[in-house]
């Protein structure tokens, strides 16, 4: 077993739920699985001296979890003023409608179909609820509507599924596209180099204390997988299923369907760039 401190991004040990930075607190949803890791991280963000909080990704439609998010905010002297979504996948967004009812808040997302009672989100938008400053960072690739949220005051970025606290994410072809995803990772790298981002607050898994290390690992991993897929095709493995069996042989077979989505995205990317 690898020492946690040596893993890319320096995953923070201990319980995932609870305070993460001066302005953020995680409430872990009870939906663990091979794809969601320990469950979905629902984030409560607020200025320490404000009574208003923003929630990112209420998670699945689980009444007890949604109430736990509200209660956790209340125990900290906060009430929910706004709900934001990183993307449309059910483990992040399914509970948003019910959460909006419980909190009487608007829901904002990149996809207008997910926005309720408020405007959609776009690149460059700044969320200022309760004096907070959250900057919207478009990061398509995992899905077409994936967003991250930059929290400058804490030197942190909330990444949804674009970067996970453990393992690597799926480029969910055909909605997700690898070229977009690589561009998004480079965009996040620029935040770590130019804007002082040091902490990753992911949609699943533990907090990462080395944001730049995590991004660099993701970029290197994608380059390595692309090279493996290219080699597999050159060796005669033509279908996505054949490539998965060859390239992802060491991965748990329960994850092969997800791996096939990523392989399809990789094959599309290699084809577009004339590499296969």
Active-site residue numbers?
Answer: 91
Q: Which of 124, 125, 163 is nearest to 146 (CA)?
A: 163
Measured CA to CA, the distance from residue 184 to residue 150 in angstroms comes to 13
User: Residue 145: is it exposed, middle or buried by C-beta count within 10 angstroms (0-12/13-18/19+)?
Assistant: buried
Rg (CA), the chain: 19
Measured CA to CA, the distance from residue 254 to residue 245 in angstroms comes to 12
Q: Which of 7, 72, 9, 3 is nearest to 215 (CA)?
A: 9
- 239: tokens are 């279908």
| Under 8 Å between Cβ of 178 and 171 | yes
Give residue for tokens 């799926």. 170
Give bridge partners of residue 21 from the DSSP assignment.
24
- 171: tokens are 């480029």
């Amino acid at each position: 077993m690898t020492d946690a401190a040596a893993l890319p991004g320096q995953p923070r040990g201990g319980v995932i739920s609870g305070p993460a930075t001066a302005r953020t607190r995680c409430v872990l949803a009870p939906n663990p699985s091979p794809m969601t890791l320990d469950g979905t991280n629902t984030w409560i963000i607020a200025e320490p001296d404000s009574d208003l909080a923003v929630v990112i990704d209420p998670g699945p439609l689980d009444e007890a979890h949604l109430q736990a998010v509200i209660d956790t905010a209340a125990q900290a002297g906060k009430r929910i003023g706004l709900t934001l979504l990183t993307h449309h996948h059910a483990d992040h967004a399914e509970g948003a409608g019910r959460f909006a009812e419980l909190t009487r808040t608007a829901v904002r997302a990149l996809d207008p179909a997910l926005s309720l009672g408020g405007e959609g989100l776009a690149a460059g938008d700044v969320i200022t609820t309760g004096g907070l400053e959250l900057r919207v960072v478009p990061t398509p690739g995992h899905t077409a509507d994936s967003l991250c949220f930059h929290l400058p005051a804490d030197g942190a970025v909330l990444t949804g599924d674009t970067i996970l606290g453990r393992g690597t994410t799926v480029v969910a072809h055909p909605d997700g596209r690898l070229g977009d995803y690589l561009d998004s990772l480079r965009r996040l790298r620029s935040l770590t180099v130019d804007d002082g981002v040091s902490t990753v607050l992911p949609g699943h898994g533990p907090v990462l204390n080395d944001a730049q290390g995590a991004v660099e690992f993701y970029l290197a991993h994608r380059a390595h997988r692309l090279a493996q897929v290219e080699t597999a095709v050159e060796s005669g493995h033509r279908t996505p299923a054949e490539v998965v069996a060859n390239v992802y042989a060491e991965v748990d077979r329960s994850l092969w369907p997800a791996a096939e989505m990523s392989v399809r995205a990789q094959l599309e990317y290699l084809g577009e760039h004339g590499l296969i």
